[in-house]
Amino acid sequence: MTDLSLLVEADGPAFGIHNEDGTSPIVVVCEHASNCVPTLLKNLGLTVSQLDTHVAWDPGAAILARKLSDAFDAPLIEARFSRLVYDCNRPPDAPSAMPADTEVCAIPGNAKITKAERQTRTREIYEPFHVAVTETLNRHRSAGRTPVLITVHSFTPVFHGKARDVEIGLLHGQDDRLARAMMEAIEHAPYDTRANEPYGPEDGVLHSIEKHLTNDPMPYVMIEIRNDLLATDDGLSDIFALLSRSISQAVTSLDLHPPLAKPDVSDA
């Protein structure tokens, strides 16, 4: 039996790497960068306006991730397809990896997905994406750099009818070094910043990070920004400037070798 195939030549690869040769110890990851759908899936039966909502991607996250990548000379691995096709921050056995329903709408193209189709999406999207993350982290280690893993996300101001006051979330598991140092750096900024909100490890949102933790300690943080703060150029610039300063201060405080170079925030 021939394996099913999903991606065609016109779709391109499952992931993109921005600033691949960056020499910073920081590695930026953006799992929900895109709302694109592979050609054969016919938009999963959704309208363009439905694909523009937060259920299909994290609005503003990719732009913010690229600005951080450029500022720190850090490689960025970003998913090129919607999390409705495959959420690269979820393991293959999780229903939310290829959800049939969401807060906004049902997903017709996922309603009757077969086991073979799930395996195809896993093989062609999830696995290549995480191989790219692994290879990037390993290049840093081979060059004598302790990687610093930062994943970038955004979240909606209202979820299931409930408003969210938190504006910046810094998520972590047992190793809270980087998140704690960033919290200290952001302490006096005019944003409601909280640890492990609006999600926490118990929600399964640290999958990408946990997948790449090894026996070698690696500082990490998952950054969540309320997406209304990224909706304008001024808002995006303010958040970028704040995060670049706090990341720089936090990573420097960890006393990594070689040390972190000062970020270029000239376009903030």
Please tell me the predicted confidence (pLDDT) of residue 256.
74
Measured CA to CA, the distance from residue 130 to residue 124 in angstroms comes to 11
Measured CA to CA, the distance from residue 186 to residue 242 in angstroms comes to 7
Please tell me the predicted confidence (pLDDT) of residue 29.
98
Residue 268 has pLDDT above 80, yes or no: no
Please tell me the predicted confidence (pLDDT) of residue 2.
47
Task: Characterize the bridge pairing of strands 148-155 and 26-30.
Answer: parallel
Measured CA to CA, the distance from residue 181 to residue 177 in angstroms comes to 6
Give percent of the chain with pLDDT exceeding 70: 96
Residue 61 has pLDDT above 70, yes or no: yes
Round the average pLDDT of the chain to a whole number and report it: 94
Average pLDDT over residues 120-149: 96
CB-neighbour burial class of residue 257 (10 A; exposed 0-12, middle 13-18, buried 19+): exposed
pLDDT digits (tens, 9 = 90+) for 42-59: 999 999 999 999 999 999
Measured CA to CA, the distance from residue 161 to residue 90 in angstroms comes to 24
Residue 231 has pLDDT above 60, yes or no: yes
Question: 223 pLDDT band (50/70/90 cuts)?
Answer: very high
Domains by residue range for the chain, with CATH: 9-253 (3.40.630.40)
Please tell me the predicted confidence (pLDDT) of residue 1.
37
Question: 266 pLDDT band (50/70/90 cuts)?
Answer: low
CA torsion through residues 116, 55, 178, 235, sign: positive
Give percent of the chain with pLDDT exceeding 90: 88
Please tell me the predicted confidence (pLDDT) of residue 264.
74
For 75, other C-beta atoms within 10 Å of its C-beta total: 25
Amino acid at 13: P
pLDDT digits (tens, 9 = 90+) for 21-42: 998 999 999 999 999 999 999 9
pLDDT digits (tens, 9 = 90+) for 135-189: 999 999 999 889 999 999 999 999 988 999 999 999 999 999 999 999 999 989 9
Measured CA to CA, the distance from residue 40 to residue 156 in angstroms comes to 29
